[in-house]
Amino acid sequence: MTSYIPVAEITVKQLGEQLRQPNASAPVQLVDVREPEEWAIARLDGFINLPLSQFPTWSEQIHVHLDPQVETIVLCHHGIRSAQLCQWLLHQGFSQVKNVRGGIDAYADYVDRSIPRY
């Protein structure tokens, strides 16, 4: 059994501020682990879609998709699936992983009401 590593969190308001004012000197990787059907309903610009259900197809190539030394923000619908991926990424040597608390549902409620909720 793998050990639990505490996962840092970012609020949807903090995420909104970061997306509005990107810092070119501090790159960030944005990952959405929701299903393609969910992704089609609502998504945020800049996020790549790595569905958690398709984990076996992309997990072995994670270091091709993402740099373990760059801040990585992970999003899902409510924050549960993204927390699972954050935990896995930390075990893969990623050092700057943050889970979006409340997921895209909270983002649509508190930051951008134009994003469809489902």
Among all residues, which ones are annotated catalytic? 76
28 forms bridges with which residues in the sheet? 71
Burial (CB count <10 Å: 0-12, 13-18, 19+), residue 81? buried
H-state helical runs in the chain: 12-20, 36-41, 55-58, 62-65, 80-91, 103-110
- Token couple for 69: 């030394």
Measured CA distances, 23 to 1, 19, 20, 28, 50 (Å) = 38, 9, 10, 9, 24
